[in-house]
């Protein structure tokens, strides 16, 4: 039986992982992603898309323009769309999960509000799918400790925790994420470039599983090989010009009212130059508001700047507020309606959990068969 080597120096696979975001490998992923993008319209039925989100708080405009806006678009092209509320992943990097139940339901409401249709798409939570989580055990046997220590996503997650000691779950979170993708036989995962290594890890685990246990299942491998749909997410900064994140209190949340949005934008950092110009390098905060207004349909950033002219930061904020409020009004109205109906949100989640469990138990059965553990 093939054994995964216990490496001292980086193996080829580890180099592939580390290199997933650079050079030739990145170019290959990008080319493949473009190919898939074109094929989605021709053969949407070939794909199952999975995306995951940590329920760490209310979703904000960075999430929306980063990923959420694409969910309904992919679903509406006829792709089987799965959205994972990654509740177990929250405990990888923090002690407290906060008001987790509320946050999970809030994420369900956000997903539905941006157009995810629970009839066609599946929204489910980690903690509700034991068969998925059981895959962690065989999967952990297919990765080495040194490989995990060198995993670029583990490294960057660790940096984000401000030097706190690494938990076992943090170290193994790429394996858990591989289980997320592989259990439901997803073959398409929308990711930013920085997340390519975790997809590569999932592919490696699928390959190694089939290599080690494949004798029983030669005709068709147990796992599909997931591929990346690379998103060109525009980088939105927070209102203070730093990275947008809830903990910095520099976000505009999807659920905010028009007034709250106006208030938040009034406090946004700008500069004292009266003439508004789009200069992302020299005037990042001003450029960021122009980008936001542009994303909300107010024209290109340059056009908006031109229109504002010497109107100064006050006009810029007013224009941005109007654009954001107009763009999000229907989403917010729908969200408010959904949020008031907890029974419905729970029902959507329960249905999704059941679908996820059905697929997960089929996959686990195939895994048991391949491992000769089907007693």
Of 50 and 237, which has the nearer Cβ to ligand TRP? 50
- Beta bridge partner(s), residue 191: 230
Of 204 and 264, which has the nearer Cβ to ligand TRP? 204
**Closest Cα partner for 348 from 112, 58, 96, 36?**
112
Of 50 and 286, which has the nearer Cβ to ligand TRP? 50
φ and ψ of 63, to 5 deg: -60, -45
Q: Closest approach of Cβ 127 to ligand TRP, in Å?
A: 13
Of 50 and 256, which has the nearer Cβ to ligand TRP? 50
Q: Closest approach of Cβ 90 to ligand TRP, in Å?
A: 9
- For the chain, the maximum distance between any two Cα atoms, rounded to a whole number of angstroms, is 76
Helices marked H in the chain: 12-18, 23-42, 61-63, 69-76, 100-113, 130-134, 136-140, 145-150, 152-160, 168-171, 173-183, 196-213, 258-266, 284-295, 301-308, 312-339, 342-370
Of 13 and 199, which has the nearer Cβ to ligand TRP? 199
Contact 61, 237 (CB under 8 A): no
Structure tokens at 260: 């709250």
Closest residue to ligand TRP in the complex (CB) = 52
Q: Closest approach of Cβ 177 to ligand TRP, in Å?
A: 4
Q: Closest approach of Cβ 108 to ligand TRP, in Å?
A: 15
**Closest Cα partner for 296 from 262, 258, 325?**
325
Task: In whole angstroms, give the CA distance from residue 154 to residue 133.
Answer: 19
Q: Closest approach of Cβ 134 to ligand TRP, in Å?
A: 16
Of 122 and 261, which has the nearer Cβ to ligand TRP? 122
Would you give the end-to-end CA distance of the chain in angstroms? Answer: 21
Contact 55, 101 (CB under 8 A): no
φ and ψ of 361, to 5 deg: -75, -30
Strands 80-85 and 48-53: parallel
Of 173 and 327, which has the nearer Cβ to ligand TRP? 173
Q: Closest approach of Cβ 52 to ligand TRP, in Å?
A: 3
| Contact residues: ligand TRP, CB under 6 A | 50-54, 84, 86, 89, 177, 180-181, 189
Q: Closest approach of Cβ 173 to ligand TRP, in Å?
A: 8
Q: Closest approach of Cβ 355 to ligand TRP, in Å?
A: 17
Of 182 and 292, which has the nearer Cβ to ligand TRP? 182
**Closest Cα partner for 51 from 4, 117, 121?**
121
- Beta bridge partner(s), residue 82: 50, 122
């Amino acid at each position: 039986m093939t054994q995964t080597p216990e490496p001292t120096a980086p193996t080829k696979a580890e180099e592939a992982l580390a290199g997933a975001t650079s050079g030739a490998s990145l170019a290959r992923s990008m080319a493949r992603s473009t190919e898939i993008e074109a094929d989605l319209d021709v053969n949407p039925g070939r794909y199952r898309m999975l995306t995951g989100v940590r329920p760490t708080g209310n979703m904000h405009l960075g999430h929306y323009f980063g990923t959420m806006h694409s969910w309904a678009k992919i679903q509406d092209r006829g792709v089987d769309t799965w959205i994972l509320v990654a509740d177990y992943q929250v405990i990888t990097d923090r002690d407290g999960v906060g008001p987790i139940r509320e946050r999970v339901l809030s994420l369900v409401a956000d997903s539905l509000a941006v157009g995810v249709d629970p009839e066609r798409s599946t929204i489910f939570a980690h903690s509700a799918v034991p068969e998925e989580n059981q895959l962690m055990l065989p999967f952990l046997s297919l990765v080495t400790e040194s490989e995990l220590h060198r995993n670029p996503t583990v490294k960057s997650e660790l940096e984000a925790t401000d030097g706190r000691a690494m938990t076992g779950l943090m170290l193994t979170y790429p394996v858990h994420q591989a289980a997320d993708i592989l259990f439901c036989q997803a073959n398409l995962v929308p990711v930013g470039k920085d997340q390519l290594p975790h997809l590569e890890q999932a592919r490696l685990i699928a390959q190694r599983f089939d290599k080690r246990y494949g004798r029983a299942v030669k005709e068709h491998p147990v796992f599909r090989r997931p591929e990346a749909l690379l998103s060109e997410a525009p980088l939105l900064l927070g209102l203070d010009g730093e990275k947008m994140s809830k903990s910095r209190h520099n976000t505009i949340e999807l659920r905010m009212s028009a007034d709250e949005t106006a208030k938040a934008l009034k406090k946004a950092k700008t500069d004292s130059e009266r003439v508004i110009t789009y200069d992302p390098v020299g005037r990042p905060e001003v450029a960021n508001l122009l980008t936001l207004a542009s994303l909300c349909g107010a024209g290109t950033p340059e056009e908006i700047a031109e229109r504002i002219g010497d109107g100064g930061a006050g006009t810029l904020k007013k224009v941005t507020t109007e654009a954001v409020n107009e763009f999000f009004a229907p989403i917010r109205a729908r969200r408010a309606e959904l949020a008031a109906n907890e029974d419905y949100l729970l029902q959507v989640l329960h249905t999704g959990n059941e679908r996820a469990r059905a697929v997960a138990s089929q996959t686990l059965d195939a895994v048991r068969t391949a491992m000769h553990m089907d007693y």
